[in-house]
Chains A and B, each alone.
Chain A
């Protein structure tokens, strides 16, 4: 039983860090700031939560602290990504030509 829990925890750790790897890859490969925010924050949030779940499977006594870290990340990560996107838009970060839809700019042009 403990052996099974250990293997599940190890696989969750590897899956979570694989998501972190894909997030880092997206951070390098994506064309502009807004796409990088998408790749950087969503994938790494899921990756960190999976890693914390794997650590809980490996050391069940640490469950409360790991749950606290996970809840904190779950609350703060979307907030920081939203603030970053707003700051990038207001500071006039360049968009690539593939980023075609910008509803905020359309609204601002409609009613100045």
Chain B
């Protein structure tokens, strides 16, 4: 029962990842691509948590935390670059 629910959640997250990836490829301006990148990283954090649940290994959560930190920094840096000034 619970395994089935986790698999359904992983399916939803995968479809959301593909939708965001289409916007990331298609996006007309650079700002669209940065928004899509932000959403992709958030979905990836959820994916890492789901992987930790299915494998039953809590150490993967540290990976999710570091990934959240680095993706946040990346989005801030690219947004500041788009503004045209540091």
- A80 to B34 CA separation, bound complex (whole angstroms): 10
Taking residues whose C-beta sits less than 8 angstroms from the other chain, chain B's interface range is: 35 or more
Could you mark each residue 23-42 of chain B with 1 if its beta carbon is under 8 Å from any beta carbon of chain A, else 0?
Answer: 10000111110111011001
- A87 to B23 CA separation, bound complex (whole angstroms): 18
- A37 to B29 CA separation, bound complex (whole angstroms): 13
Give the tally of cross-chain contacts (CB within 8 A). Answer: 174
- A33 to B38 CA separation, bound complex (whole angstroms): 13
Would B12 and A44 count as touching, CB distance under 8 A? no
Given contacts A21-B12, A33-B31, A36-B35, contact A61 B20 (CB under 8 A): no
- A77 to B72 CA separation, bound complex (whole angstroms): 8
- Among B6-53, those with CB < 8 Å from A are 6, 8-10, 12-13, 15-20, 22-23, 28-32, 34-36, 38-39, 42-43, 45-46, 49-50, 52-53
Given contacts A36-B35, A86-B83, contact A65 B58 (CB under 8 A): yes
We find that the number of chain A residues with CB closer than 8 angstroms to chain B is 54
Enumerate chain B residues within 8 angstroms of A83, measured Cβ to Cβ.
75-76, 79-80
Enumerate chain B residues within 8 angstroms of A37, measured Cβ to Cβ.
35
Q: How far is the CB of B82 from chain A (nearest CB, A)?
A: 4
Among A13, A33, A52, A94: residue with most chain B CB under 10 A:
A13
Would B38 and A24 count as touching, CB distance under 8 A? no
CB-CB nearest 5 A-B residue pairs: A10-B5, A24-B19, A17-B12, A24-B16, A88-B31
Chain B interface residues toward A at CB < 8 A: 1-2, 4-6, 8-10, 12-13, 15-20, 22-23, 28-32, 34-36, 38-39, 42-43, 45-46, 49-50, 52-53, 56, 58, 61-62, 64-65, 68-69, 72, 75-76, 79-80, 82-84
A-B contact pairs, 28 of them (CB 8 A): A9-B2, A13-B6, A14-B5, A14-B8, A14-B9, A17-B8, A21-B16, A24-B17, A24-B19, A27-B23, A36-B23, A40-B35, A41-B38, A45-B42, A52-B49, A65-B62, A69-B61, A69-B65, A72-B69, A76-B68, A77-B42, A79-B72, A80-B38, A80-B76, A84-B35, A84-B38, A90-B82, A91-B30
